[in-house]
Amino acid sequence: MRLFYSSGSPYARMVRVALRETNLLPRVTEVEATLRDPASAILPVNPVGRVPTLLLPDGTALTETVLILDFLDTLGAAHRLLPAEGAARWRAMAALGRAIGMMDGVAVWNRELRRPEHERSPGVIAQEITRTNRVADVLEAEAGRLGDTPDAPGIALLCLLGYAERRHRTWPWRDGRPGLAAWYDAMAARPSFAATLPPLSGL
C-alpha cells in the first residue's frame, strides 16, 4: 500500500500517526506529494488530488481521513483505532467527527489567511473563529474525560492541536483551556507524534 501525504497536512498526519500507533507502518510506503499541482503524483490514482490518499494493492484509492482510519482497523492490528461495533463505536465516531469538523473550520480559516489580504473574507474568518472556539470550549469542559489512548478521536484531536501549534499560531488555543493544554502536552510526547512533526509556517 502507498500513502500519499504532505508534511504540512494535519489530515495526512492523523493517518501517519495511526500507522505508527498500530504498527502498520511496515505495510505502507509513505509518498510525499505536492498539492494543487497538475504534476502531483496523486492525480493519476485519485482525481480529487487531496491528502491523505491511501492506494490499496488492487488499485483502489481511498480518500477522506475517516474512511482511511476505519479501513486501517480491517488490517488486523492489535491496537484498534475505533471500537468494532455497538454504541461505543458511534460514540467514538461522534468524537472523531467533531474533531474533523473542527479541523475543517481551522483549515478554512487558515486558507483565508493565506490569501492576499484584499481577497480574504472577514465574514468567513469570523465564522470559523467562532466555530473553532465553540468546539474547543466544549472540549475544555470535557477535558477530564479525554483518555490517554491513541485511538482515532484522540489522534485527530492531537493532530488538530498540533496544527494550531506549528501552522496556525494565530489562534491562541491554550488561553483559558488548561485541561486541553495539559492533555495535548502529555499526548504530544508520543513517538508517533514526534516522528510526524510538520514544518513551522508563518501563520
Ligand X SMILES: N[C@@H](CCC(=O)N[C@@H](CS)C(=O)NCC(=O)O)C(=O)O
Residues in contact with ligand X by CB under 6 A are 9, 11, 35-36, 49-52, 64-65, 100, 107
Choose between 18 and 177: whose C-beta lies nearer to ligand X: 18
Task: Report how far apart, in Å, the C-alpha atoms of 200 and of each of 166, 168, 169, 183 are.
Answer: 5, 9, 9, 22
Choose between 51 and 136: whose C-beta lies nearer to ligand X: 51
Q: How far is the CB of 106 from ligand X (least distance, A)?
A: 10
Task: Report how far apart, in Å, the C-alpha atoms of 75 and of each of 28, 72, 110 are.
Answer: 12, 6, 34
How does DSSP assign 105-128, residue by residue? HHHHHHHHHHS-GGG--HHHHHHH
Q: How far is the CB of 125 from ligand X (least distance, A)?
A: 18
Q: How far is the CB of 186 from ligand X (least distance, A)?
A: 25
Choose between 11 and 184: whose C-beta lies nearer to ligand X: 11
Query: In 56-190, at which residue ranges do the beta strands (DSSP E only) sit?
Result: 61-63
Q: How far is the CB of 163 from ligand X (least distance, A)?
A: 9
Choose between 51 and 161: whose C-beta lies nearer to ligand X: 51
Say how many Å lie between the first and final Cα of the chain, rounded.
Answer: 34
Task: Report how far apart, in Å, the C-alpha atoms of 88 and of each of 4, 91, 144, 165 are.
Answer: 30, 5, 18, 30
Q: How far is the CB of 172 from ligand X (least distance, A)?
A: 22
- Cβ(15)–Cβ(54) below 8 Å: yes
Choose between 14 and 187: whose C-beta lies nearer to ligand X: 14
